[in-house]
Amino acid sequence: MEWQAEGTVIARRTHGETSVIIDVLTLEHGRHSGIVPGGTSRMRVAMLQPGARLSLRWRARQAEQLGTFTIEPLRLRPNLMGDALALAGLNAICALLVFGLPERDPHPRLVEQTEALLDLIEAGGDWPALYLAWEMRLLDEMGFGLDLTSCAVTGAQDGLAYVSPRSGRAVSREGAGEWADRLFPLPAIMGGVDTNRAHGLHEGLAITGYFLENRLGAELVGRHLPAARDRLIKRLARDRGQPSQ
């Protein structure tokens, strides 16, 4: 068995004395693992850092085997390692991909959004809002997507102010009624009414975090969210002067 593709390193661990096992995110093959012989050498360590973009050739005798990678560097993305917030973002993205994605299951839209997000982080752009959208994409790809297009109670498309923690659907003020205090406020950054607190990144991440933990984590993965996500949320809160969750 053999294939060639481009992919981004999202995890690495030692294997024996001189080799490493890497997880890569590819457009055609999803999250895929393989052994890199000699991966602990000084020349290859930088090539195998999370976020590095590689040209890959995977070989195995049978499809179900771990197999080996032959690699060539395409883009190392060193700027992801030079800033504390950028590094926290990279670590959270990689950890959530390993946490949530089944192996060898292609999710091309998620891959494309991941690459765009990593490019923006490396370029030093204003990326936290795109990160929130990325978490929403991850939930959607894994079958736990939020429906924020209309009110779950009235069907109205305007005046959406809340999200139901049970259904993941938007709810208007009229539809919420006396249940409002049991719902998440829907911030403007996620399509909520303008009277919600400005921007609302922190509130949006509280919503996606709830569904990542209590739907994806509890129902599909069977584990708690990786600590790297919590570290990112706390750093974002500090940088923006908000209380951490």
Q: What tens digit of pLDDT does each residue of 108-135 get?
A: 999 999 999 999 999 999 999 999 999 9
pLDDT for the residue numbered 242: 59
Q: What tens digit of pLDDT does each residue of 24-44 get?
A: 999 999 999 999 999 999 889
The domains located in the chain, with CATH, are 1-76 (2.40.50.140), 78-245 (1.20.1440.120)
- Specify the pTM: 0.94
CA distance 18 to 128: 37
Q: What tens digit of pLDDT does each residue of 192-234 get?
A: 875 545 469 999 999 999 999 999 999 999 999 999 999 999 9
Mean pLDDT of the chain: 94
**Mean predicted confidence (pLDDT) in 162-174:** 97
pLDDT for the residue numbered 82: 84
pLDDT for the residue numbered 46: 87
